[in-house]
Amino acid sequence: MLSIKDLTVNVNDKQILKGINLEIKPGEIHAIMGPNGSGKSTLSHVLSGKAGYTVTGGTATYQGKDLLEMAPEIRAREGVFLAFQYPVEIPGVSNVYLLKAALNSIRKHHGQPEVDAMDFLTLVKEKVRLLEMDEKFLYRAVNEGFSGGEKKRNEILQMAILEPKLCIMDETDSGLDIDALKIVAEGVNSLRSPERSFVMVTHYQRLLDYIKPDFVHVLAHGRIVKSGGPELALELEEKGYSWVEEAAA
Amino acid sequence: MSTAMASRYTAEYQSIASALPGQDLPWLQALRTEALAQFAEQGFPSPREEEWRYTNVSGIEKKLFAPSMDLTAGEINADWLEQYRMADAWVLVLVNGHFSAELSVLDGLPEAVSVMSMANALAVQPEIVEKYLGQAVDHAEHGFIAFNTAWFSDGLFVHVPGKLVLDRPIQLLHIVNKADAMATTRNIIVADDMAELKVVETFIGAEAYLTAAVTEVFVGQNADLTLYKMQSESEKAYHYGGSYIKQARDARFTHHNFAFGGLLARSDIHVDLDHASECELNGLYLGVKRQHIDNHTRINHLKPYAISRELYKGVLDDRARGVFQGRVIVAIDAQKTDSQMNNRNLLLSDDAEADTKPQLEIYADDVKCGHGVTVGQLDEKSIFYLQSRCVDEETARNMLTFAFANEMVDKIKIRTLHDMVLEQVLARFPQEGVNKEWL
């Protein structure tokens, strides 16, 4: 699905990622944990194509293609989805329109006809129920005036409708209370499939109580300093990050 | 302005004065003579005047616009009538500054309501016109008003009696299609106590010409009046449009100002607020190429408890320049004034310019007044967010720009007008491929 080799990235001439290696196979869930400033968000931004990051070395191959060469919207149409840490408000553009436009551009990208309006609404309403959202949200401007939890749920709603192959979740659990976290986790878990992979970037172990990862990687100072199974997350929870940082130093 | 130019207009005036409406009325004749003398002395406003510092109208002086003496409408593009004449309104059409009965639609008006041409009003009820003409604005204010007062050839006169609620809007369709013509029109709109009505002013045209329109509005006690203005003049035209509003106690007034056309366009909107009256001023200006679009608003809080809300938005591309000057003046006894003014500008090109100048002058001490101004480009975070949702960058930019502008279009409460303005926004939009379904 995704193969990252020796990836190095600069921001404003400062090296943030210092050689990342990561192999993600279809159906796997990888959690990337690390202290603040370790490069977690940089990794998710670089993979989704945000401007302002200079790749100075290494590769990221997604389904056999050079991911880093693609414009952000092409990555999205190819099935890479970034769930934002801070979803952006887009006043004046309705949620339902953006969902439909996004879905149709994915279909067009794959040579499929546009979605039927009725089928689309049925699909959307089903997913809205799954995430326990109010249907009214659909007709409001994207994220405008949404609470933090509602914004995060809206990200998962988009994910559920666009059915990406690789979901990159950037600090999805931050700002969520436990009830909202459960709903979000349930949404994510319902999307698990042998064809779909997840990269969950998170500071907190709590999310992993609800979405069980296959692998946990610890990022510190721009490198993956330790990889393991779900038990590594528990160890981090118990001991904090200082011991891995020390090990990395 | 050169005195030579002013004297050419003055000389021209003598040759057509006898054809202007109301010349048999001594009071009007005196008013016109006074205004003409003032114009001969001052000419059009100069950037040396504080309220004109960003707008140089000297381009107008390079030409000598002549009033059209042709009282027939002549050939009017049928598409224009189809496109701009509102099907659900009473429509008064002015062509090159003269009322056209054949193009107007005034059937079925309630008997108590007057909707007629200014020339007709001066003929049949001059004493009522006299009560209002020049009462909301003084021709000494500046050269365009003096010019308009001296020269006006016709206009719209509306009078709605007390407590009458008009369910159909009244539209003034102002058409100029003659090269080098000047269309100088004077309008009066009166809503008596507790009356409610909506009036739409639409300005369209072809060729290079000058529109100088002045509208005086009187909103009676507890009356409710909404005035829409859609300025879609030809891209070679000069447009001056002034709206001067006097609100009585508890009166409500809403203005929607859509400034799309003209090579150089200036609007003045001045509102006088009485005790506990409310006004809302909305504006949207879209400038492309070398357009210069200036909107100047002044809200006078004269008495306590009045509320004013103002939001002007501009989208400027190419070498276009947008000007917003907004003054709010709170008089010494206008306690408990509540006023909010905002101006937001989106610059789409490096050569576009926005000049914005909010001014609060507060002489009372117990008031709530705020203002905010932004001039900026599209938000890169928003563009990336849309891209990450499969939307290409160009479409993302268009979407955000359109959404920015559409907030103002969405405020229109008349369906036919909403659709007409939306079409204008789409047609004049800097980019192609803009899609209504985004909303």
A185 alpha-carbon distance from chain centroid:
13
- Closest to A231 measured CA to CA, from A244, A213, A245: A213
Residue B70 pLDDT exceeds 80: no
Point out the residue among A75, A88, A101 whose CB comes nearest to the CB of B382: A88
Cβ proximity of B204 and B241 under 8 Å: no
Enter the tokens of residue B308.
């004013």
Give the mean model confidence (pLDDT) for residues B266-285.
98
Q: Mark the ranges of chain A whose per-residue pLDDT is less than 50.
A: none
Q: B386 and A158 in contact by Cβ < 8 A?
A: no
Instruction: Give the per-residue pLDDT at B391.
Output: 93
Residue B434 pLDDT exceeds 80: no
Q: Say how many domains are in chain A.
A: 1
- Closest to B203 measured CA to CA, from B184, B219, B218, B226: B184
Instruction: Give the per-residue pLDDT at B432.
Output: 58
In degrees and rounded to multiples of 5, residue B313 shows phi and psi of: -125, 140
Side chain identity at residue A195, one-letter code: E
Rounded (to 5) percent helix, strand, coil in chain B: 25, 40, 35
Instruction: Give the per-residue pLDDT at A248.
Output: 62
Q: A88 and B385 in contact by Cβ < 8 A?
A: yes
Task: Give the nearest chain A residue to B392 (CA atoms).
Answer: A73
**A96 touches B at CB < 8 Å:** no
Cβ proximity of A17 and A28 under 8 Å: no
A38 alpha-carbon distance from chain centroid:
17
Instruction: Give the per-residue pLDDT at B377.
Output: 95
**Domain boundaries, position A10:** 2-248
**A101 touches B at CB < 8 Å:** yes
Residues in chain B with CB shorter than 8 Å from the CB of A162 are 389-390
Q: B348: how many CB neighbours lie within 10 A of its CB? A: 19
In terms of residues, how long is chain A?
A: 249
The residue ranking higher by pLDDT, B168 or B427, is B168
- What is the spatial distance between Cα A238 and Cα B128, in angstroms, rounded to a whole number? 87
The mean pLDDT value of chain B amounts to 93
CATH code, domain carrying A26: 3.40.50.300
Give the mean model confidence (pLDDT) for residues B117-129.
97
**A129 touches B at CB < 8 Å:** no
Residues in chain B with CB shorter than 8 Å from the CB of A94 are 438-439
To the nearest whole Å, the CA of B319 is away from the closest chain A CA by 26
Instruction: Give the per-residue pLDDT at A216.
Output: 94
Instruction: Give the per-residue pLDDT at B13.
Output: 86
Instruction: Give the per-residue pLDDT at B66.
Output: 87
B72-110 pLDDT per residue, tens: 767 788 888 999 999 999 999 999 999 999 999 999 999
Q: Which residues pair with B357 in a beta bridge?
A: B325
To the nearest whole Å, the CA of A215 is away from the closest chain B CA by 26
Instruction: Give the per-residue pLDDT at B435.
Output: 62
The residue ranking higher by pLDDT, B70 or A49, is A49
Instruction: Give the per-residue pLDDT at A211.
Output: 93
B339 alpha-carbon distance from chain centroid:
21
Return the DSSP state at A140.
Answer: S
B431 alpha-carbon distance from chain centroid:
26
- Residue A220: burial class (beta carbons within 10 Å; 0-12, 13-18, 19+): buried
Residue B212 pLDDT exceeds 90: yes
Enter the tokens of residue B270.
């001045």
Instruction: Give the per-residue pLDDT at A249.
Output: 59
| DSSP per position, B353-413 | EEEEEEEEEE--SS-EEEEEEEEE---HHHHHHHHTTT--HHHHHHHHHHHHHHHHHTT--
Give the mean model confidence (pLDDT) for residues B419-423.
93
Rounded (to 5) percent helix, strand, coil in chain A: 40, 30, 30
Residue B429 pLDDT exceeds 70: no
B352-400 pLDDT per residue, tens: 999 999 999 999 999 999 999 999 999 999 999 999 999 999 889 988 9
Residue B431 pLDDT exceeds 90: no
pTM score = 0.89
Residues in chain A with CB shorter than 8 Å from the CB of B439 are 92-94, 97
Task: Give the nearest chain B residue to A106 (CA atoms).
Answer: B390
In degrees and rounded to multiples of 5, residue B318 shows phi and psi of: 50, -125
**B402 touches A at CB < 8 Å:** yes
Rg (CA), chain B: 21
pLDDT band at B259 (very low <50, low <70, confident <90, very high): very high
